[in-house]
Amino acid sequence: MAENVDDYRAPTTHTAQCVALWRAVIVQAIKDTKRAANPKRRVSKFPSRDVIEAKDWFIDRSKDYRLVCALANIEEEASLAFLEPYVADRRKEREAAIETMA
């Protein structure tokens, strides 16, 4: 018997919908980081605040990031390995800023 997708009270449907919601959060953050990597889409030569915050969110591995990964049923390390090319520039900027402060 096929599961009724419209029955939001069914635990399996509810769980699947929640996982899909949290995966969408991660997908949006990934899109934000990739937006900076595509010069054709940039309006200015400087990344937007959304791009910087998305990259920092992945780099910092905050409690919020770990929670979203858990709710999305995604391994943190797998997503970070995939994103490394897109966040490498921000990681270098942060390291350089720390060095200048030392």
What pLDDT score does 40 carry? Answer: 64
- 48 domain residue, yes or no: yes
What pLDDT score does 2 carry? Answer: 46
Q: State the total domains in the chain.
A: 1
Which amino acid belongs to residue 36?
Answer: A
Integer Cα distance of 83 and 63 in angstroms: 18
Write out the two tokens for 22.
Answer: 């949290």
The verdict on pTM exceeding 0.85 is no
Give which of 43, 54, 64, 49 is closest to 87, Cα–Cα.
54
- 1 domain residue, yes or no: no
- 37 domain residue, yes or no: yes
Integer Cα distance of 39 and 44 in angstroms: 9
Range of the domain at 96: 11-101
What pLDDT score does 101 carry? Answer: 84
pLDDT in tens, the chain (102 residues): 445 545 545 556 678 889 999 999 988 888 888 876 565 665 556 667 888 888 899 889 889 989 999 999 988 888 888 888 888 888 898 898 888 887
- 63 domain residue, yes or no: yes
Write out the two tokens for 42.
Answer: 């940039």
What pLDDT score does 45 carry? Answer: 62
- 4 domain residue, yes or no: no
- 3 domain residue, yes or no: no
